[in-house]
Amino acid sequence: MKNPEYAIVDIETTGSYAAANGITEIAILIFDGKQVIEKFSTLINPLQPIPFHIQALTGISDDMLAPAPTFSEVAAQIFQLLAGRVFIAHNVHFDYSFIEAALKLAGYDWRAPKLCTVRLSRKIFKNLPSYSLGKLCQSLGIPIRDRHRAFGDAEATLTLFKMLLAADEEHHIVKATLPKAKEQRLPTHLPNDVFESLPQTTGIYLFKNAQDKIIYVGKAINIKKRVIGHFTGNSSSLRRQQFINEIIHIEFKETGTELMALLMECDYIKKLWPKYNLALKKYDPKYGLWCYEDQNGYLRLSIGQIRKHTQPLYYFNSVLESTQFLHKLIHDHQLVLGLCQFFNPTALPQIDRISTLSMEFPDQKTYNLRVQNALLALENQQKSFVIVDKGRNSDEKSFIYFKKNKLHAIGFIENELSFSHIDEGITQDQLVTSNFYMNNLAIQFAKSFPSKTHEIQGNWSE
């Protein structure tokens, strides 16, 4: 079997992500495992100005790049150098993403196995104070000439890689270059053993950053498979690059069922609002029903838009739905139209035909009693039930407690346990911050699986 050849690469750029920035310098050293067999280095005109702070860091100015070739002018040579070779860089995802994007723009479809000297150093040279190129080279006694210039950093990375090859007693390098090796796709700062510890079961996973803060919560039928899916793809957007680079650690929680995973994911997102979770916001209803007392002592019912940290008595998906709902309350309980507020009265033409009785103002005590009776009728229509399903193992079962028209708690209990009254068994950490989307998930599951659903009439026990 032919030994692989390696392309040791370093680039300088105008910014931190490939979608909106360009390469200003590139160096490639072709290494056959014993010696360098080819070298390439050139400045690149990125056809955009270099920010001042990057000029100060690299010493590369706009004037220096004016006569330099554009990337498309050297793309054929770069493609030829990289083709069929293992791509190596310090923080490989950064360099790889820029070069892949630039080659694609120049008309070249290029893919390559890649190795990250940051990840390899963490495995082979353990417990060093820092794995940045400068600090790592200082720890290992590797000289760097022209720091933050492509050729100087590429030479230092080559020396580092030679040391890694010599010290790799557990064959990490060979394993990482095998076809479909997951190691190549993992974020630079995520240890492989963290990924390998993930189960192939249903549950949620939590991405954490260097400050141990949760930055993303996801759900999966197969946690391990779903997590590796996050790191597959070729997006060079700023948001994706930042997301991948921030992931330092992954935690997980098994849930037994997909519904529990969905609800637990929603609960975490509503409580923590991780910075990279955006999708669930669109599921929240926009309108709600409130009751308040005006300055004359009358109880008023009002439809309004839901604001953050507000808790309406009732939720609605649309203006029409809210208008129909309040119209029915007015009609059924002889409420006064002038004491009720619709978000958009024209959404329901029949509103003009409410009986004239609804326009008469009774005394405050009589009218408030009507409003209270209307709200009591709504409360009496509220549903409560418990969904009981399989747990995370054969010794337990999961429960989903839906109380008075909203999700109240989710959790697990041992198989032999039952509740004489379900509220007695709920612990603080099982309570959830429910929303419209979560409530609908529970309701639809209860309708679809009545055999797993226990309606509550007062006390409940199995």
Residues 441 and 325 in one domain: no
Residues 164 and 226 in one domain: no
Residues 292 and 321 in one domain: yes
Listed residue (58, 75, 52) closest to 24, CA to CA: 58
Residues 124 and 218 in one domain: no
Report whether 222 contacts 176 (CB < 8 A): no
Residues 360 and 442 in one domain: no
Statement: residue 32 has pLDDT above 60:
yes
Count other Cβ atoms within 10 Å, centred on residue 230.
Answer: 19
Span 19-24, mean pLDDT?
92
Answer yes or no: is 86 within a domain: yes
Q: Which region among 17-21, 243-247, 307-311, 327-331 has the lowest average model confidence (pLDDT)?
A: 307-311
Question: What CA–CA distance (Å, rounded) separates 191 from 58?
Answer: 30
Tell me which of 276, 309, 331 is where a domain ends.
276
Q: 240: domain CATH number? A: 3.40.1440.10
Answer yes or no: is 1 within a domain: no
Listed residue (48, 55, 46, 2) closest to 24, CA to CA: 46
Tell me which of 134, 163, 184 is where a domain ends.
184
CA dihedral sign, ordered 333, 337, 339, 340: positive
Answer yes or no: is 401 within a domain: yes
Residues 42 and 60 in one domain: yes
- According to the model, what pLDDT value does residue 442 have? 93
Q: 103: domain CATH number? A: 3.30.420.10
Confidence at 461, pLDDT banded by 50, 70, 90: very low
Answer yes or no: is 462 within a domain: no
Residues 293 and 366 in one domain: yes
Integer Rg of the chain from CA: 31
Residues 56 and 118 in one domain: yes
Residues 73 and 157 in one domain: yes
Report whether 310 contacts 340 (CB < 8 A): no
Residues 374 and 311 in one domain: yes
Question: Domain tally for the chain?
Answer: 4
Tell me which of 248, 276, 304 is where a domain ends.
276
Range of the domain at 53: 6-184
Residues 427 and 342 in one domain: no
**In the predicted model, what is the mean pLDDT of the chain?**
88
- According to the model, what pLDDT value does residue 87 have? 97
Backbone φ and ψ of 293, nearest 5°: -100, 130
Question: What CA–CA distance (Å, rounded) separates 393 from 401?
Answer: 20
Residues 116 and 174 in one domain: yes
Q: What percent of the chain has pLDDT over 90?
A: 63
